[in-house]
Structure 1
Amino acid sequence: MHPGPSATGSEPTPPLQRFLIAVLPVALVSFLGSLATMPNIPTWYAGLVKPGFTPPNWLFAPVWTLLYAMMAYALWRILALPKSTPDRAAAITTFFVQLALNSLWSWAFFGARSPLAGLVVILALIVAIVATIRAFWPLDRTAALLLVPYLAWVGYATALTGAVWYLNR
């Protein structure tokens, strides 16, 4: 017996499409950010005065890898909700706004070699991450909680960015 058609919008995003939407943009942001960051670490960044709470350079890659994986999984969970779920589309849009700001930070701070521009972008990023967590919360609390370590790390990165700007103005 063939099942009848389901209600329009009641299906989640299909698994392959979910993978493409959740994982590829996050991986792309990671890659694009590294294009701005990596060439500047041994040159421009190495010459900056940094605060005492600056972590060693080797720590950034594993932390960001874990955070990006958690971000992609959080979005994956939201995409698994039926398309007709109220506020699902807005939550997905909010996620992509914060993801764009995440990428922009690397280009502002490292690409433009401007701690001040990085500080402006990262402050907007914090607002966008909080908005994403708030948008995810009523839809999937696990997805929202997966973004909390990201928020904490970006909060720390904000203090670091502000200190670098202050020490090098």
Structure 2
Amino acid sequence: MRTDSGHDTGERGPGWKGYAASATAVAAGAAIGGWAVDPDSRWYRSLRKPPWQPPPWAYSVVWTPLYGAIAWAAGHALDRAEGRSERRGLAVALGVNLALNAAWSRLFFGLRSPRAGLAGTLLLDASNVRLLRRVHRIDPVAGRALIPYVAWCAFATALNADIARRNR
């Protein structure tokens, strides 16, 4: 049973620890993924890209608040999840999502393969929907905070697909 505060009456959520854990996980995922990204590499510059691709500086401007929103939404949902099972399921969904997020840059830049990147981003999109649904079930406000992330990744998938098509 939940109280008006949204907490299970038998067990209180992790509070600040949930926010700290989600922020740490998001920062680690961002750092691991970021190490592989090199938009100044000869290989990347040689790729044919669509005219609607954002300029390189736009990615840090977009990703910084998106990562903040992921950390906040996950921490918020972890705090409001009912019981250990729901929190564990959310933590696993977040971990898988962040691993797929970081893997994309390894697949695309590390392997120098737009096709591998496309496969990775399609998996990430599926994971995004799963994470969004799980978070939204726990707390709709936190779920809505993930919508820009899901939308940006869908845009990135379209961009990745176009780059893969242009560079067969």
- TM normalised by structure 1 equals 0.88
Runs of at least 5 residues in structure 1 that lack an aligned partner in the other structure: 1-6
Number of the residue aligned with 2:14: 13
Percent sequence identity over matched residues? 35
Q: Is the 8 A contact 1:13 1:82 kept in 2?
A: no
- TM normalised by structure 2 equals 0.88
Number of the residue aligned with 2:37: 37
Number of the residue aligned with 2:45: 46
How many residues of Structure 1 are paired with residues of Structure 2 in the alignment? Answer: 161
| 1:13 alignment partner, SS class | coil
Question: Deviation at 1:96?
Answer: 1.5
Instruction: Report the structure number with the largest CA radius of gyration.
Output: 1
Runs of at least 5 residues in structure 2 that lack an aligned partner in the other structure: 1-7
Question: Deviation at 1:89?
Answer: 2.4
| 2:48 alignment partner, SS class | coil
Structure 1 ranges of 4+ moved more than 4 A: none
Letter in 1 for 2:13: P
| 2:106 alignment partner, SS class | helix
Moved more, 81-90 or 97-106: 81-90
**1:128-139 equivalent positions in 2, closer than 5 A:** 128-139=127-138
**1:1-169 equivalent positions in 2, closer than 5 A:** 10-15=11-16, 17-38=17-38, 40-81=39-80, 84=83, 87-169=86-168
Task: Write 1 or 2 for the structure with the bigger share of helix.
Answer: 2
Q: Is the 8 A contact 1:78 1:92 kept in 2?
A: no
- Cα RMSD of the aligned pairs, angstroms, is 1.9
